[in-house]
């Protein structure tokens, strides 16, 4: 999950009071350890202490925060750093899948078929969850399908070992340490056993892949057995996801958005998540639905235009509920996959416009080069980190405007070639 402020639990507040330098619990970005963190808070020094030295120091901090010493010792019994976790933490893939390939995998025929079966099998529970939290059951099942393949792929690594490894040597040790403390709180409440607390290499847990702080604030005991079990109890897992989305400003009964068609000569600079306009205003700008039919010019609901593959690909107007999904995972591709998969369960969700499948995505090396060249030529892309964020997209737009190209902010091979040419 992403960008939703997370309230620190009481024990976490205590730890923050006694352990200066720990990460302030802020955003549960993707509901994973890869979530964004506040600049300037993360510890960056090299860890010269051994794992046992770090563990003993952390034990003192955890006990000062209220963790039972016997529980701590039981949780850490036999725990040593996991080299596979460190490898995963340090690896940055050179190539990423284009959005159309990601969607194809996310909405496979098998995932659609299993999702429909789960909707039928759990209809009663889903109806109750929908009534209590106001979140569309199809969205919940889509999240369930993408996060853990309907509970069949939750990860099998010890959450304590993974987080301890990352807290000792990981890139964002402060954040990992705060998650580790939250994991100990979960164990202390008795929601799950030490052996049962398994998840991904980054510490995401259960059928809905919550990180520990998100679990502490939003997991619910929907079946009323006294435990918030997102590992083995589908009702708890799905209701917890619904509770999180409700807290992320989900609007009951509202659409996530729709595919649209843009007129010739449209100002692609308007395709930006920071821009919201009433549907009536988009209609005035010549935006129609995907079939070319007029939008509802009477609608006052606001929407944002996104172009996941630039101006050559499909266009979408997305609304508040799309942003709520982004709080769960701050990826446009992910949010689009959830929204469209939920529609596929109901017999719709087909995209009409073609994807630019001949457009080879930039590799990480090429994205770094793009940012370096943008910076060298005065377009101010922000950090040179290989991540195409808001600042880089604005820099790309400035370059595109200078070149007389459609200013969609989309990085592609043609743009990189233009930058290379400008320096020669």
**Per-position DSSP letters for 40-98, written without gaps between them:** TTS--S---S-HHHHHHHHHHHHHHTT--HHHHHHHTTT----HHHHHHHH---S----
Beta strands at 257-261 and 288-289: parallel, antiparallel or unpaired? antiparallel
Tell me the pTM.
0.88
Does the pLDDT at position 179 exceed 60?
Answer: yes
User: How does pLDDT run across 247-282, given as a tens digit for each residue?
Assistant: 999 999 999 999 999 999 999 999 999 999 999 999
In the chain, what are the domains? 257-318 (no CATH), 364-423 (1.10.101)
Mean pLDDT estimate for the chain: 90
Q: What is the pLDDT of residue 87?
A: 95
Q: Tell me how far the alpha carbon of residue 63 is from its chain's centroid.
A: 32
In the prediction, which pLDDT does 47 show?
Answer: 57
Confidence class for position 242, pLDDT limits 50, 70, 90: very high
Q: What confidence tier does 92 reach under pLDDT thresholds 50, 70, 90?
A: confident
Q: Is 281 helix (H, G, I), strand (E, B) or coil?
A: helix
What percentage of residues in the chain have a pLDDT greater than 90?
84
- The C-alpha atoms of residue 250 and residue 59 are separated, in whole angstroms, by 39
Tokens of 271: 């395709």
More confident residue, 37 or 360: 360
Mean pLDDT of 300-309: 95
Is the pLDDT reported for residue 39 higher than 70?
no
Both tokens assigned to 204: 């995401």
pLDDT in tens, 376-412: 999 999 999 999 999 999 999 999 999 999 999 999 9
pLDDT tens per residue, range 102-149: 999 999 999 999 999 999 999 999 999 999 999 999 999 999 999 999
| Residue position matching structure tokens 């659609």 | 112
Q: How confident is the model at residue 299 (pLDDT cuts 50, 70, 90)?
A: confident
Number of helices (H), then strands (E), belonging to the chain: the values are 18, 7
pLDDT value at residue 91? 87
Note the pLDDT tens digit of each residue in 351-372.
999 999 999 999 999 999 999 9
23 pLDDT above the threshold of 80? no
Confidence of residue 33 (pLDDT cuts 50, 70, 90): very low
């Amino acid at each position: 999950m992403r960008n939703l402020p997370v309230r620190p639990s009481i024990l976490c507040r205590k730890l923050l009071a006694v352990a200066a330098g720990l990460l302030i619990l802020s955003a549960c970005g993707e509901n994973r350890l890869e979530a964004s963190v506040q600049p300037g808070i993360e510890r960056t020094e090299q860890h010269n202490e051994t794992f046992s030295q770090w563990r003993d120091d952390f034990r003192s901090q955890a006990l000062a925060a209220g963790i039972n010493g016997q529980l701590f010792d039981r949780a850490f019994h036999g725990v040593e750093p996991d080299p596979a976790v460190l490898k995963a933490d340090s690896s940055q893939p050179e190539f990423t899948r284009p959005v159309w390939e990601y969607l194809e995998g996310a909405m496979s025929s098998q995932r659609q078929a299993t999702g429909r079966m789960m909707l039928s099998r759990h209809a009663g529970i889903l109806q109750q969850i929908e009534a209590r939290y106001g979140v569309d059951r199809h969205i919940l099942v889509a999240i369930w399908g993408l996060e853990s393949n309907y509970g069949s792929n939750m990860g099998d690594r010890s959450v304590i070992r993974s987080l301890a490894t990352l807290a000792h040597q990981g890139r964002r040790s402060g954040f990992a340490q705060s998650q580790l403390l939250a994991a100990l709180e979960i164990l202390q409440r008795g929601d799950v056993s030490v052996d049962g607390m398994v998840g991904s290499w980054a510490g995401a847990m259960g059928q809905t892949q919550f990180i520990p702080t998100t679990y502490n604030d939003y997991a619910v005991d929907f079946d009323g057995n006294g435990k918030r079990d997102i590992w083995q109890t589908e009702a708890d897992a799905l209701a917890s996801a619904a509770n999180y989305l409700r807290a992320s400003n989900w609007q009951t009964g509202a659409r996530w958005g729709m595919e649209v068609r843009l007129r010739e000569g449209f100002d692609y600079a308007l395709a930006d998540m920071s821009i919201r306009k009433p549907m009536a205003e988009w209609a005035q700008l010549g935006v129609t639905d995907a079939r070319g039919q007029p939008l509802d010019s009477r609608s006052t609901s606001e929407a944002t235009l996104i172009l996941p593959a630039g101006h050559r690909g499909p266009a979408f107007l997305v609304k508040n509920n799309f942003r709520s999904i982004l709080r769960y995972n701050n990826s446009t591709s992910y949010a689009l996959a959830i929204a469209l998969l939920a529609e596929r369960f109901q017999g719709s969700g087909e995209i009409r416009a073609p994807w630019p499948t001949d457009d080879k995505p930039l590799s990480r090396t090429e994205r770094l080069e793009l940012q370096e060249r943008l910076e060298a030529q005065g377009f101010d892309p922000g950090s040179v980190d290989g991540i195409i964020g808001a600042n880089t997209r604005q820099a790309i737009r400035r370059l595109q405007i200078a070149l007389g190209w459609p200013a969609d902010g989309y990085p592609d091979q043609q743009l990189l070639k233009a930058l290379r040419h400008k320096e020669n």
